């Protein structure tokens, strides 16, 4: 059974694209919030001015504030849903890779020093109090590292299996069942490794395509532009 391959460079480039879109969402939210603060000041100024009829003069302004707040909540919900999905799935994959690495300690494949060197590099996971882009990147890097360690162990396991096979041939040891068992154990590790490689690639590809759509939507928010852009300002 062959191992899957993760192109770390491409994977991280795609993740960068995801976070660039999230930065764009943050920038848009900041613009909206600034506009809300400004409109609330205008609203209160009119409310306190006895020369104006409050009911009549503030009706359009109230509607503008309500609609802008709706746009703000919409973008915040999109951002939260995306980050929650990213964190939940990455954490699940990372936690599973750690479980695999922990189980490998019980496999006796000789090469004890090489095995020890691989397993001691395992990166432990801690749940942050607040999930942000920094924690997500750290968690992603930990996951990539742990998958790489599993891959190294699979290669070391193959060396051990090949050495065992050659030794049995050389010494005329009839241990066919042992070799079958060893190969089955290695294939099982590969199966689990491939599964989490596929899940990681699938997650990042999906979120990248999702953020592309979000990015396109941000560039064509006619309603938000109508509500927030003045003659002197333009949303970046």
Is pLDDT at 54 greater than 70 in this prediction?
A: no
Is pLDDT at 232 greater than 80 in this prediction?
A: no
| CA separation for the pair 83, 22 (Å, rounded) | 9
Q: Which two tokens stand for residue 123?
A: 């990166």
Is pLDDT at 168 greater than 70 in this prediction?
A: yes
Q: Taking Cα atoms as reference points, which of 143, 131, 31 lies closest to residue 96? A: 143
pLDDT band, residue 173 (cuts 50/70/90):
confident
The answer to whether 32 touches 72, Cβ cutoff 8 Å, is: yes
The answer to whether 189 touches 100, Cβ cutoff 8 Å, is: yes
The mean per-residue pLDDT over the stretch 48-67 comes to: 77
The mean per-residue pLDDT over the stretch 74-100 comes to: 94
DSSP secondary structure code for residue 175 in this structure = -
The answer to whether 175 touches 161, Cβ cutoff 8 Å, is: no
The mean per-residue pLDDT over the stretch 191-209 comes to: 96
The answer to whether 200 touches 11, Cβ cutoff 8 Å, is: yes
Task: Indicate the average pLDDT of the chain.
Answer: 88
The model carries a pTM of 0.84
For the stretch 104-128, pLDDT in tens is 988 888 888 898 899 999 888 777 7
Q: Taking Cα atoms as reference points, which of 24, 65, 30 lies closest to residue 227? A: 65
pLDDT score, position 6? 85
Crossing angle of helices 112-119 and 59-104, rounded to 10° = 170
The mean per-residue pLDDT over the stretch 8-37 comes to: 93
Distance of alpha carbon 176 from its chain centroid, rounded? 44
Is pLDDT at 197 greater than 90 in this prediction?
A: yes
């Amino acid at each position: 059974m062959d191992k899957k391959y993760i192109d770390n460079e491409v994977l991280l480039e795609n993740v960068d694209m995801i976070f660039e879109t999230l930065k764009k969402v943050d920038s848009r939210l900041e613009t909206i919030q600034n506009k809300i603060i400004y409109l609330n000041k205008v609203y209160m100024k009119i409310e306190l001015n006895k020369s104006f009829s409050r009911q009549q003069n503030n009706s359009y302004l109230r509607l503008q504030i309500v609609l802008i707040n709706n746009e703000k909540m919409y973008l915040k919900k999109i951002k939260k849903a995306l980050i929650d999905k990213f964190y939940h799935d990455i954490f699940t994959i990372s936690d599973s890779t750690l479980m695999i690495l922990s189980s490998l300690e019980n496999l006796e494949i000789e090469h004890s020093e090489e095995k020890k060197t691989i397993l001691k590099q395992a990166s432990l996971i801690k749940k942050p109090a607040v999930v942000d882009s920094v924690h997500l990147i750290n968690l992603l890097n930990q996951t990539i590292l742990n998958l790489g360690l599993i891959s190294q162990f699979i290669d070391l396991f193959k060396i051990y299996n090949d050495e065992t096979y050659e030794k049995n041939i050389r010494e005329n040891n009839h241990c066919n069942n042992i070799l079958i068992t060893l190969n089955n154990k290695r294939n099982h590790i590969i199966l689990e490794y491939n599964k989490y490689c596929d899940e990681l690639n699938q997650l990042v590809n999906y979120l990248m395509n999702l953020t592309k759509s979000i990015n396109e939507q941000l560039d064509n928010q006619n309603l938000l532009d109508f509500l927030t852009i003045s003659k002197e300002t333009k949303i970046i």
